[in-house]
Amino acid sequence: MASPSSSELPLKSIPGGYGFPFLGAIKDRYDYFYFQGKDEFFRSRVAKYRSTVFRANMPPGPFISSDSRVVVLLDALTFQILFDTSKVEKRNLLDGTYMPSLSFTGDIRTCAYLDPSETEHSVLKKLFLCFLASRHDRFIPLFRSSLSEMFIKLEDKIAEKNKVVDFNPISDSMSFDFIFRLLSDGTPDSKLAADGPGMFDKWLAFQLAPLASIGLPKIFSILEDLVIHTMPLPFFLVKSGYMKLYNAFYSCSDSFLAEAEKQGINREKACHNLVFLAGFNAYGGMKVLFPILLKWVGTAGEELHRNLADEIRAAVKEEGGLTFSAIEKMSLLKSVVYEALRIEPPVPFQYAKAKEDIVVQSHDSAFKIKKGEIIFGYQPFATKDGKVFENPEKFIGDRFVGEEGEKLLKYVYWSNGRETEEPTPEDKMCPGKNLVVLMARVIVVEFFLRYDTFSVEVNDLPLGPSVKITSVTKAAVKV
């Protein structure tokens, strides 16, 4: 897709505004959470300003964040500036216009809050990349082992209830088991396996509460706003759970901690970073991603299910098992995973601060962002840009199949970068990008090795969808 050169695009002032000090931020917060909702908040302003670039306040606002003013980017072209760390800074901007207390991360700034210009960022991210690479031969066997236990639980519940089964808690338990076994040298004991997902959930919820709505009836909106959007929730209420997780990883992760020491990082700091990687990045991401996958694949219908099952079973049979090479032959499977990541990216928000005066280009205009301004991108709009994707609101399983489909992958941004690029120590792309894609493919493969088709019931939660499996049809022929 060709875009006009910068010399051809008219330079426009950024429309929108922030309203009266303090009051404008609160008004936008109520619009965002209660009066309009996220998508309508952005959609209505696009229509009002006739622009995918505009100014607005982003939650949480007073009194949690000192400055809620941002420049909003909602198209596939301007969004890309958020990846250019030569022009934007990511320091302390993981959660946007506010940062949770460092108490949640052992009183240190973990790698996710560091900017690539900080030396420690490159050291930590290189450590993560090398550590994951050293365990690549464990990915499929470990994940399949965790998945096997998940399917046993799933089928037991189906047999027990013979009705709707909640997928999310079963998926969460599987994710915790896999992440702990992959990133440490041990296996969670029965107590940790049972309690670990809940402890991570509470730790995540207390940090992210100012950015979400619980979904209470509107009559309680003022109460909710006072409780979770006005003052940050205190760490001491989840400290016990966090320290149990920290101690479990510390006692079982000697290989990671020893390697960190070789890189000049003390064990305590390394372990807090490992817990953050495991809980916030990995478990938190999987908690959202797997229900998203089941939602879109489950609702896509039997024709897609049949095509996936045929492709998966043929490749597994040809390769004599589920291997990397078998997965590489599954072009429809790969497209389905990319399409799920495009239509509902598990991390919808990206933030950065302009290091200098920047000119960004949308499809039809150019805009100047001044040095020091906070830039916000809402990814579900950028990856559903109608000028890039045909029928952007529709889940099309084979969208990325073939040469023309593969050209669109550069507009899939879920990993804090283009899907066509690889993470490095010098950028902010997810260090587990390739592992996440692999896991998403494997879970779909395992479904269609076991089942011919399945159906789901979907509802929205503050963090991603709630998926209930309403029926499964076991595979008539097993590979």
> In sequence order, which residues have a C-beta less than 8 Å from that of residue 259 and are 6 or more positions away?
127, 130, 131
Asked whether the predicted pLDDT for residue 209 surpasses 60, the reply is yes
Asked whether the predicted pLDDT for residue 281 surpasses 80, the reply is yes
How does strand 349-354 pair with strand 88-89? Answer: antiparallel
Q: Tell me the C-alpha distance between 70 and 57, whole Å.
A: 6
Percentage of the chain exceeding pLDDT 90: 90
What's the confidence (pLDDT) of residue 462?
78
Q: Which of 461, 469, 468, 415 is nearest to 204 (CA)?
A: 461
What is the rounded average pLDDT of the residues 368-379?
A: 97
Q: Tell me the C-alpha distance between 439 and 337, whole Å.
A: 10
> In sequence order, which residues have a C-beta less than 8 Å from that of residue 401 and are 6 or more positions away?
331, 332, 335
Asked whether the predicted pLDDT for residue 215 surpasses 90, the reply is no
What's the confidence (pLDDT) of residue 214?
86
What's the confidence (pLDDT) of residue 326?
95
What is the rounded average pLDDT of the residues 402-418?
A: 96
> In sequence order, which residues have a C-beta less than 8 Å from that of residue 167 and are 6 or more positions away?
154, 290, 291, 294, 456, 467, 468, 469
What is the rounded average pLDDT of the residues 182-196?
A: 95
What is the rounded average pLDDT of the residues 288-296?
A: 97
Asked whether the predicted pLDDT for residue 7 surpasses 60, the reply is no
> Reading across the β-sheet that carries 11-12, which strands appear in turn?
11-12, 366-369, 358-361
Asked whether the predicted pLDDT for residue 464 surpasses 90, the reply is no
Using the 8-state DSSP alphabet, how is residue 340 labeled?
H
pTM: 0.94
What is the rounded average pLDDT of the residues 207-236?
A: 91
What's the confidence (pLDDT) of residue 4?
43
Asked whether the predicted pLDDT for residue 111 surpasses 80, the reply is yes
Asked whether the predicted pLDDT for residue 219 surpasses 90, the reply is no
Q: Tell me the C-alpha distance between 141 and 478, whole Å.
A: 19
Q: pLDDT digit string (tens) for 76-103?
A: 999 999 999 999 999 999 999 999 999 9
Identity of the amino acid at 445: V
What is the rounded average pLDDT of the residues 131-159?
A: 92
- Where do we find the tokens 């940062």? 99
How does strand 451-460 pair with strand 374-378? Answer: unpaired
Confidence band, pLDDT 50/70/90 cuts, at residue 382: very high
Q: pLDDT digit string (tens) for 248-278?
A: 999 999 999 999 999 999 999 999 999 999 9
CA atoms within 13 A on the CB side of 343: 22
Asked whether the predicted pLDDT for residue 142 surpasses 90, the reply is yes
Q: Tell me the C-alpha distance between 38 and 344, whole Å.
A: 14
Q: Tell me the C-alpha distance between 165 and 167, whole Å.
A: 6
What is the rounded average pLDDT of the residues 128-149?
A: 94
Asked whether the predicted pLDDT for residue 456 surpasses 60, the reply is yes
Q: Tell me the C-alpha distance between 112 and 91, whole Å.
A: 9
> Contact, 346 vs 285, CB < 8 A?
yes
Q: pLDDT digit string (tens) for 8-51?
A: 789 999 999 999 999 999 999 999 999 999 999 999 999 999 99
* DSSP-based three-state secondary structure for 217: coil
What's the confidence (pLDDT) of residue 2?
39
Q: In whole angstroms, what separates CA 339 from the centre of its chain?
A: 14
What's the confidence (pLDDT) of residue 463?
78
What's the confidence (pLDDT) of residue 161?
67
What's the confidence (pLDDT) of residue 453?
94
Q: pLDDT digit string (tens) for 294-351?
A: 999 999 999 999 999 999 999 999 999 999 999 999 999 999 999 999 999 999 999 9
Confidence band, pLDDT 50/70/90 cuts, at residue 159: confident
What's the confidence (pLDDT) of residue 3?
44
More confident residue, 474 or 353: 353
